[in-house]
């Protein structure tokens, strides 16, 4: 299973970033924070998301159409 920092999701005021619990998490979050200085960096458990279908970017692509 792959848990990549680049499978992040940029949203209003924040960036949701999958983390793996590895020692490199903090350095990677810092680099991402430097790239998005005006947004809150929000780490989420990447392994949980990967088992469910992907990272934050992958799982937010398929938004169902609302039918009335």
Higher-pLDDT residue of 57 and 32 is 32
Please tell me what DSSP assigns to residue 64.
Answer: P
Instruction: Give the global pTM.
Output: 0.72
How confident is the model at residue 52, as a pLDDT? 60
Cβ atoms within 10 Å of 26's Cβ, excluding its own: 11
Give the angle 43-48-51 at the CA atoms, nearest 5°.
Answer: 135
Please say whether the beta carbons of 12 and 38 come within 8 A: no
Catalytic pick among 32, 44, 58, 59: 58
Q: What stretch of H or E contains 18?
A: strand 14-19
58 catalytically annotated? yes
CB 46: neighbour CB atoms within 10 A? 24
| pLDDT single digits (tens) 13-40 | 999 898 988 898 999 999 999 999 999 9
């Amino acid at each position: 299973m792959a848990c990549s920092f680049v499978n992040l999701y940029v949203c209003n005021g924040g960036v949701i970033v999958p983390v793996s619990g590895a020692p490199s998490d903090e350095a990677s979050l810092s680099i991402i924070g430097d790239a998005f200085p005006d947004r809150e960096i929000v780490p989420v458990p990447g392994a949980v998301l990967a088992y469910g279908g992907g990272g934050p970017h992958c799982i937010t692509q398929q938004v169902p159409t609302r039918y009335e």
